[in-house]
């Protein structure tokens, strides 16, 4: 069924961007389908868009619509059926002592400083490592849907504790959408990104929701291939959510513990 024939989405318009360099596959050109106007994208509407493969960056709601490539596969974890593997259980045990608190989207010099450190250490020369305060705010602090920041702190003598990680999530009608996560890049042997995904799965279960949407899985991108490590999971292919074929799950790229939500 066309999106334009869906009554809750009937007020939206969709346009295709010009081609631009792909952020994940070198040498490729990408295009996006963008939903507008942003103010019409309420929580019920956004939930339906996410179910159709869209996600957001700030108030910009989009999905990949490239001319000759279908490498980006929307992926969601079945939270209630999820079973952690041995490596994930170790990551949970390693970081379960962190204090996690939920907050509305808010600006904070402490958050921004951690974001800058993360980008410069993990994504040097990726473009976002030079984000100024305004770019950071537009990316993570602008939203027309139900969004929260999750703050993870290391308990210490200081009552506030040491900030280790911040994650932005959206609340949907059927689950949670992982928007972005940044964390302390200087902790040796830390697996904060893995712990963050596991924490979101647990929150999803507590809220009696079904899915954690992890954005796009890209088999040949080391930044994105890690997402198939969380099972069971489904990919959106040809308009249908289905389990990904087993031969795709054990690729060399997917064995790396990349820890970013994007």
**Residues 126-179: tens digit of each pLDDT:** 555 567 899 999 999 999 999 999 999 999 877 789 999 999 999 999 999 999
Query: DSSP H helical segments within 127-237, as ranges?
Result: 133-140, 192-206
Residue 47, pLDDT > 90, answer yes
Domain limits at 65?
A: 3-71
Residue 3, pLDDT > 70, answer no
Q: Is residue 41 part of a domain?
A: yes
Kindly state the helix (H) or strand (E) to which residue 118 belongs, with its residue range: helix 109-122
Residue 7, pLDDT > 50, answer no
For residues 144 and 39, the answer to whether their CB atoms sit within 8 Å is yes
Q: Is residue 87 part of a domain?
A: no
- The residue with greater pLDDT, 101 or 129, is 101
pLDDT at 222: 78
pLDDT at 5: 45
Q: Is residue 233 part of a domain?
A: no
pLDDT at 171: 97
pLDDT at 99: 96
**Residues 207-238: tens digit of each pLDDT:** 999 999 999 999 888 778 789 999 999 999 98
Q: 254, 248, 251: which is closest to 226 by C-alpha?
A: 254
Give helix then strand counts, H and E, for the chain: 5, 14
Q: Is residue 255 part of a domain?
A: no
pLDDT at 111: 96
pLDDT at 255: 41
Residue 253, pLDDT > 80, answer no
Q: Is residue 16 part of a domain?
A: yes
DSSP state of 17: P
**CA 215 from centroid of its chain's CA atoms:** 5
Residue 8, pLDDT > 70, answer no
- The residue with greater pLDDT, 224 or 58, is 58
Domain tally, the chain: 1
Q: Is residue 182 part of a domain?
A: no
Q: Quick check: bond before 232 cis, omega within 30?
A: yes
Q: Is residue 55 part of a domain?
A: yes
Query: By mean pLDDT, which of 31-35, 62-66, 114-118, 247-251 is the weakest?
Result: 247-251
Q: Is residue 19 part of a domain?
A: yes
Mean pLDDT in the chain? 88
For residues 169 and 200, the answer to whether their CB atoms sit within 8 Å is yes
């Amino acid at each position: 069924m066309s999106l334009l024939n869906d009554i809750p989405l009937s007020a939206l318009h969709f346009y295709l961007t010009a081609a631009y360099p792909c952020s994940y596959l070198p040498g490729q050109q990408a295009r996006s389908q963008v939903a507008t106007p942003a103010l019409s994208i309420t929580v019920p509407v956004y939930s339906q868009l996410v179910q159709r493969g869209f996600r957001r960056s700030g108030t910009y709601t989009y999905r990949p619509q490239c001319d000759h490539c279908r490498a980006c596969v929307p992926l969601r974890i079945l939270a209630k059926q999820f079973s952690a593997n041995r490596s994930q259980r170790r990551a949970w045990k390693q970081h379960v002592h962190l204090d996690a608190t939920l907050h509305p989207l808010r600006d904070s010099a402490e958050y921004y400083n951690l974001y800058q450190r993360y980008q410069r250490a993990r994504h040097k020369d990726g473009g976002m490592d030079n984000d100024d305060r305004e770019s950071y705010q537009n990316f993570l602090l602008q939203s027309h849907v139900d969004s929260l920041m999750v703050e993870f702190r290391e308990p210490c003598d200081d009552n506030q504790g040491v900030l280790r990680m911040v994650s932005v999530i959206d609340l949907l009608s059927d689950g949670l959408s992982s928007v972005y996560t940044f964390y302390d890049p200087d902790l040796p042997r830390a697996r904060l990104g893995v712990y963050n995904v596991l924490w979101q799965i647990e929150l999803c279960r507590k809220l009696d929701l079904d899915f954690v949407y992890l954005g796009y899985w890209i088999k040949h991108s080391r930044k994105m291939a890690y997402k198939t490590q969380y099972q069971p999971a489904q990919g959106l292919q040809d308009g249908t959510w289905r389990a990904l074929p087993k031969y795709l799950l054990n690729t060399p790229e997917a064995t790396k513990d990349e820890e970013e939500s994007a």
